[in-house]
Amino acid sequence: MSSVPDTPLVSTEWLAAHLDAPDVRVIDGSWYLPSAQRDPRDEYERGHIPGAVFFNIDDICDTASPYPHMLPSPEKFSSRVRALGIGDGMRIVVYDGAGIFSAPRVWWMFRVMGFDDVVVLDGGMKKWKAEGRAVTDERTRTSPRHFTARRNALLLRDREAVLHNLDTCAEQLIDARSGPRFRAEEAEPRPGLAGGHIPGSRNLPSSQLVNADGTLKSHNELVRLFDDAGLDLKRPIVATCGSGVSACILALGLAVIGRDQAAIYDGSWAEWGAVKGLPIEV
């Protein structure tokens, strides 16, 4: 069995050395905002890390929800990942084409489904390609595997829990959207959403956690960023964003510095900004 480092991140060097290990499964978890005008599935088909399978965030979700890519039921999640050839006992490495953007969402999804042997490729496909490492357009052949999903509710918050927390203030809320969106100085990319943020939340744009080469910033830099945002790292933390993707970058950064129990408000602003009557600050 290959040994995954005791960290939520692995380097391109580590993956290259373990790419052929029978228990390692690589996942392309690429997803982009519509404004990026990038097709993640098409990019995967044209070139992916050898052996990688494509994880479609907009399919492996609760498609009955009015909100984008909400967490699916454990049953649906299990069914989809089994079909990808992912099963119990594997070591999962997730990457995305931007470096670190949507891969943390897939990392969080596996963890909230009770699967902890999952890591993110630091720098993703961006760094992998920059280093001239192997890329293929060959179809990855898989066979169904048994996957057991047990939802870990500690890593997930819903609207009711966040609303209740406004009274108790038991958990700190941190918003990964840009400052202008957080302050309602810039329109939301999704139509029909109010501007502003959940009362009492702090702001740390997720882009600040990522270096130009797509890698996550250092341990000390992450601690400083969370400290500057006003977080008490000894207290419980819930991350939110526009639709539950970039919040997971904050959760990944927190895990790197030893705070691996940060929860995600899955509906995020796509829900909070759409539901009439909820309190909003600007």
Asked if pLDDT for residue 85 goes beyond 80, the answer is yes
**pLDDT for res 12:** 98
A 10 A CB-CB count for 228 gives: 11
Mean pLDDT, rounded, of the chain? 96
Asked if pLDDT for residue 211 goes beyond 60, the answer is yes
pLDDT band at 5; cut points 50, 70, 90: low
Active site residue 248: no
Beta bridge partners of 119: 93
**pLDDT for res 128:** 98
pLDDT band at 36; cut points 50, 70, 90: confident
Q: What is the pLDDT of residues 149-206, one digit of tens each?
A: 999 999 999 999 999 999 999 999 999 999 999 999 999 988 899 999 999 999 999 9
Active-site position among 61, 169, 241, 248: 241
pLDDT band at 35; cut points 50, 70, 90: confident
Q: What is the pLDDT of residues 44-73, one digit of tens each?
A: 999 999 999 999 999 999 999 999 999 999
Asked if pLDDT for residue 210 goes beyond 90, the answer is yes
A 10 A CB-CB count for 236 gives: 14
Instruction: Tell me if the pTM is above 0.75.
Output: yes
Beta bridge partners of 175: 203, 240
Q: What is the pLDDT of residues 127-143, one digit of tens each?
A: 999 999 999 999 999 99
Q: Which domains does the chain have, with CATH numbers?
A: 9-151 (3.40.250.10), 154-272 (3.40.250.10)
Sign of CA dihedral 263, 266, 272, 275: negative
Interatomic CA distance for residues 4 and 231, integer angstroms: 30
C-beta separation of 237 from 209 below 8 A: no
Q: What are phi and psi of 253, to 5 degrees?
A: -60, -40
Asked if pLDDT for residue 7 goes beyond 90, the answer is no
pLDDT band at 34; cut points 50, 70, 90: confident
Interatomic CA distance for residues 147 and 74, integer angstroms: 10
b (16+ CB within 10 A) / e for 113-139: bebeebbbbbbbbbbbbeeebeeeeee
Interatomic CA distance for residues 46 and 49, integer angstroms: 11
**pLDDT for res 1:** 42
